[in-house]
Amino acid sequence: MKLNGIAHRSVEADPAAGCVRILDQTLLPWRTLWLELATLEDTLHAIATMQVRGAPLIGAVAAWGVALALRADASDAALERDAARLVATRPTAVNLRWAVERMGRVLRPLPPAARAAAAAAEAARIAEEDAAQCAAIGQAGAELIADLARRSGSRRSDGRVNVLTHCNAGWLATVDWGTALAPIYAAAAAGIDVHVWVDETRPRNQGASLTAFELAQQGIAHTVVADNAGGHLMQHGQVDIVIVGADRVTRRGDVANKIGTYLKALAAHDNAVPFWVAVPSSTIDWTLADGVAEIPIEERAGREVTHISGRDAGGEVREVQLTASPAANPAFDVTPARLVRGLITERGRCPATEAGLAALFGR
């Protein structure tokens, strides 16, 4: 996708320099700074501090982390130790475990001397596959938006389709295109008039700072709303479809995504607004069935709730304190499958059910 008019991926390898480059997402939307990750420690820091975030991107960057780690120590013991450290950085996004386990399966049978080169090749494959899968999700989801545009023509004079999304599931959260935003980009490229309601997504504001930023960069009409506005907009016919991403989907179709997603699904259900979840297959956890009972929910620092940063009138980015009270910060919630109209995957769309997923993925 484009950043200041130039095509970029959100993680870019530079084999000649021996590093991968990431866009520091903690500085957006105010500053675009590319950081070089050259070691495992750099990678752990980038994931833990959310310089990179979003389930598929975390997976892709973790795969590069394995490759960078092996340049320092390619022994069996180091491979297992470093993989475990990477997996521990963010517990909810299953793409992280998926990518690290895939690297391990490729690397374990190899002699240590062959591992670093093989790891770099496999990390590059994971990144390519993620970009291709997100492009396919875009096509599968754009059909839904095109269908709504046809029906919207008879319902509304402007013919516009209003999509509501939560958090950031765009190209910044993946290697390219995004998951929830990919259908929007594909629909806009096909000439459909799309407008996006962007939930600000407290406490870290990935909607206001990342989704709004990338939609603006791609020239997509959008409006940022407070997290609590979605239900009201739905009651007044201003949302045609909700599309969100996910950090983990169980084999029965329960969906873990950024905190607040469940409330949007409840409001969508009450207002008969279709609620779709866009995911690559790397986000499906076939080992889990009941999402509410089984998906681990990341607890982050209360400071993310008690403090907020923004730009002051002089252009300085500053952090201010909102409250002196203690705060809790569960970072994700689980939307039960019964509230999900369907899943949009690289293989097409399916009901959020065990049978639907099994049919699509041949399980």
Active site positions, annotated: 247
**257 binds ligand MRU per the rule CB under 6 A:** yes
Shortest distance (Å) from residue 167 CB to ligand MRU: 4
**55 binds ligand MRU per the rule CB under 6 A:** yes
Q: How many CB atoms lie within 10 A of CB 325?
A: 8
Q: How far is CA 94 from the centre of its chain?
A: 11
β-pairing verdict for 248-250 and 255-258: antiparallel
**The two three-digit tokens of residue 334, written as one number:** 């689980």
Q: Select the residue whose beta carbon is closest to ligand MRU and give its number.
A: 245
Q: How many residues bind ligand MRU (CB under 6 A)?
A: 18
3-state helix, strand, coil in the chain (%, to 5): 45, 20, 35
Contact 242, 183 (CB under 8 A): no
**Quick one: 55 or 107, whose CB is closer to ligand MRU?**
55
**The two three-digit tokens of residue 228, written as one number:** 């609590």
**Quick one: 74 or 167, whose CB is closer to ligand MRU?**
167
Contact 285, 249 (CB under 8 A): yes
User: Which bin fits 82, alpha (ψ -120 to 50), beta or left (φ > 0)?
Assistant: alpha
**246 binds ligand MRU per the rule CB under 6 A:** yes
Strand partners, 225: 199
Shortest distance (Å) from residue 309 CB to ligand MRU: 15
Member of 51, 179, 217, 282 binding ligand MRU (CB under 6 A): 179
**56 binds ligand MRU per the rule CB under 6 A:** yes
**247 binds ligand MRU per the rule CB under 6 A:** yes
**258 binds ligand MRU per the rule CB under 6 A:** yes
**Quick one: 162 or 335, whose CB is closer to ligand MRU?**
335
Q: Which residues contact 358 (CB under 8 A, 6 or more apart)?
A: 251
**169 binds ligand MRU per the rule CB under 6 A:** yes
**Quick one: 55 or 61, whose CB is closer to ligand MRU?**
55
**245 binds ligand MRU per the rule CB under 6 A:** yes
Which residues in the chain belong to E strands, given as ranges? 2-3, 6-7, 11-14, 19-23, 34-37, 161-165, 194-199, 221-225, 241-244, 248-250, 255-258, 275-278, 284-285, 307-311, 317-321, 332-335, 342-345, 348-350
**242 binds ligand MRU per the rule CB under 6 A:** no
Tell me which residues in 67-106 interact with ligand MRU (CB under 6 A). Answer: 93
**The two three-digit tokens of residue 58, written as one number:** 């975390």
Member of 66, 144, 149, 173 binding ligand MRU (CB under 6 A): 173
**Quick one: 28 or 350, whose CB is closer to ligand MRU?**
28
**Quick one: 206 or 250, whose CB is closer to ligand MRU?**
206
Shortest distance (Å) from residue 254 CB to ligand MRU: 15
Give the closest residue to 35 by CA, choosing from 50, 58, 19.
19
Contact 195, 228 (CB under 8 A): no
Residue bearing tokens 């569960």: 330
Member of 63, 120, 140, 167 binding ligand MRU (CB under 6 A): 167
**331 binds ligand MRU per the rule CB under 6 A:** yes
**174 binds ligand MRU per the rule CB under 6 A:** yes
Question: Which residues are at the interface with ligand MRU (CB under 6 A)?
Answer: 53-56, 93, 167, 169, 173-174, 178-179, 206, 245-247, 257-258, 331
